[in-house]
Amino acid sequence: MKLISIGARYGKVDDIGQVLPCATTVLRHLGDIVTKEKAKLCQELVSVNQFGVTTDLWTHQHTNDSYVTVTIQYIKDWTLRSCILATRLMNERHTAEHVRNAVKGVLEEFSALRPGNVYVSDNASNMKAAFRDNTWFGCACHNLNLVLSHGLQADTSSDSEDGLPQEITELIDSCKELVTLAKRTKLNSRLETTLKQCVVTRWNSILTTLKSVSSNLADLQIISISTEDKGNRRLLRLLANIKESLLLEVISVLEPFVTATKCLSADKAPTVHLVMPTKVQLMKSLTRAATDNAITTQMKRQLQQQLEQLAHCIILQHCWIQG
C-alpha cells in the first residue's frame, strides 16, 4: 500500500531515497511505534474478562535457539479476535516451571493474565504440567498429526496383519528419496511445480510430498530417459519403485486429514463443536470400500486404530469445556 501510495503521488521515481526513509530512520522510530501500539492493545485487553491462551515451543533450525510464542483469543464487541502477543527467546531447559513462568510473564506484560484463562498447547508432558493448575486441553490438530505420524511409521513386528503395510513404507521412502535427489541435482528447476520434502513438524507433510511427486510423475519420466548419466539412472530406479496406482490410493486415504485439520484450526471462529463430527467423518473415510485392495485396507485399519487410541483425547479435551 505504501508503494502504491508513492506511485500515485509522485509518479515515476528515479531516486527512491527521496521518498522513502532510510533504514536508520525507520529503526529509530520503530521503538516508538511498538510502544504506542502495545499500549493501545493493553488498554483494550484490560476490559476483557477471560482469554483463550495458545502457546507453543519451537527451535530455529539454523541458530538452534528455542522460542516460546503466546497467542490469545478473546471476544470483544461480540467478535472473536486473535492476537499474537509475543515470541520470546527461551534457551533454558523446557521444564514445566520455565514454560509456565515464560507464558505468565508475557500475559502479565500485556494485562492478559486472568484466573479463568483457558490454555491450549500440544500434548507434551511438560506443557501439560505447566498448566496443571489451570484449565488446559490439548490441540485437536496436534492429536490428528500424531495419528498420522504414528500410523505411517514403518511396522517392525512380524505380524503382517497389523501395522502399516511394507508397500506403503517403501512408497513413502522412495518419494522422500526422490525429493532429496531432485533438490541435490537441481532437478526441481526443470519442473513446473517443485517436489516438496516432508517436515516432521509440519502437519500433513507426508501428503504434501506424495502429492508433489504425483503431479510431476509424467515430467520425471521424460527427464529420466532423456540422458544416460548416473544421476538419471538413479532417478529411473526410484521412479520404478513408485507405483502410480498405489500412490493415488494413499493420497486419497490421507486427503480427509487435510480437510479435518483445516476445519479445526480456525483462530477467528469457534471449532469445539466440530471436533466430534470431524472424528466421525474421519472414521467413515477410513472404512473399507468395496474397491479397496488388501494394502489399502490394511493401511486404513492401521489409521483407524491410531485414531481410536487418540479419540478420547480429541473428544474429551475439547468437548468437556462446553459443559
Nearest to 213 by CA among 167, 173, 184, 186: 173
Spell 250-283 as b/e; 16+ CB within 10 A means b: beebbebbeebbebbeeeeeeeeebbeebbeebe
Q: Are 272 and 319 in contact (CB under 8 A)?
A: yes
Q: Please name every residue paired with 87 in a beta bridge, in sequence order, or none if there are none.
A: 69
How much is the CA Rg of the chain, to the nearest whole Å? Answer: 25
**pLDDT for residue 3:** 59
Residues contacting 304, CB < 8 A, separation 6+: 283, 286
- As its CATH architecture, domain 43-138 has 2-Layer Sandwich (3.30)
Single-letter amino acid, residue 123: N
Taking the C-alpha atoms of residue 44 and residue 99, their distance in angstroms, rounded to an integer, is 26
User: How far is 42 from 112, CA to CA, in rounded Å?
Assistant: 8
Phi, psi at 147, each rounded to 5°: -55, -45
* Crossing angle between the packed helical segments 275-285 and 244-264, to the nearest 10 degrees: 170
pLDDT at 22: 77
Three-state DSSP class for residue 57: strand
- Those residues of the chain that have pLDDT short of 50 are 158, 315-316, 318-323
Compute the distance between CA of residue 166 and CA of residue 146 in angstroms, rounded to an integer.
20
Where do the structural domains in the chain lie, given as residue ranges?
43-138, 145-322
